[in-house]
Amino acid sequence: MADAPPHHEEQPLTIIDATPAATPVPAQSTYQTRVADYWNAEENPVNLELGKIDDLYHHHYGVGDVDWSVLDDGTDPATRGERITAELHRLEQAQADLLASHLGPLSPADRVFDAGCGRGGGSVVAHLRYGCHADGVTISRKQADFAAEQARKRGIDDRVRYHHRNMLDTGLKSGAYAASWNNESTMYVELDLLFAEHARLLRRGGRYVTITGCYNDTYGRASREVSLINAHYICDIHPRSEYFRAMARNRLVPVHVEDLTAATIPYWELRKKADHLVTGIEDTFLSAYGNGSFQYLLIVADRV
């Protein structure tokens, strides 16, 4: 217990407003400011055109077998482009559904946390699957506003909310969440800081899920391809081993690990042929997966 303060002459009472002041920008590092600037300016067709199909906007890749009939030569070029776009969206939706399937069992009374939510598709998928409340956090004001408008249009904005905050320091209530996840957003932050925040937010026994690209420690250091991916997305891909070390340091115990590398390669092979959507990074991903330096993992962990 601290010593009693020395006696001073009584001062006039100051009233302090306990209501937190709204801050236009989350507390963040210079690097995170650059990341926010990147996503505030981003208008990539591979993110936007796919989402227009059903108003589920994702910022991740896809898994599963491709319906290669979308490339039939006899198809009108415009129709062919539409079919490729729809097939890529089907694959990315399959990825979102796969992640959501590992969050449960959840009830409509439960809350879930979407860290690095992008334009909000993952939170909507979880809500539609379980009926749960969802809080999505993104460091991009533009993404948060876009996602909030999508929730409003769907009439679910009372249960699915998006916040312009730093996922390392959300200000959300401790122990309030039954499940949380990162979908291809862990490479933008330090894993210890990230997992500490997830452990704080999750109730005991809560479930954490991530799908992420990581570099393969058995290959050695990060490969040239991994370095090119880092430069393309202004990120810092972590080694596979660091996920498990950082989880262990932050009360997250893996219960399921799945290598999705083979399952995502068809997505990239199809995207490479989508002239209207390519970004120039497709061959780099395929080379990295092919030479074994890069992996696509699903990790499911319980908060103890």
pLDDT, tens digit, 9 for 90 and up, residues 57-77: 998 999 999 999 999 866 678
- pLDDT for 20: 41
CA 205, 178, 122 angle in degrees (round to 5)? 130
Strands, E assignment, 194-292 = 202-215, 252-259
| Residues in the chain, overall count | 304
Task: In whole angstroms, give the CA distance from residue 276 to residue 167.
Answer: 33
* Structure confidence at residue 303 (pLDDT): 98
At CA 227, angle to CA 142 and CA 208, rounded to 5?
Answer: 55
Residue owning tokens 């998928």: 125
Interhelix angle 224-233/282-291, rounded to 10 degrees, is: 150
- pLDDT value of position 12: 43
pLDDT at 25: 53
Q: What is the distance between the alpha carbons of residues 229 and 223, in angstroms, rounded to a whole number?
A: 10
Instruction: Tell me if the pTM is above 0.85.
Output: yes
- In the chain, how long is the greatest CA-to-CA distance? 90
Given a cut of 50, the residues of the chain with pLDDT beneath it are 1-23
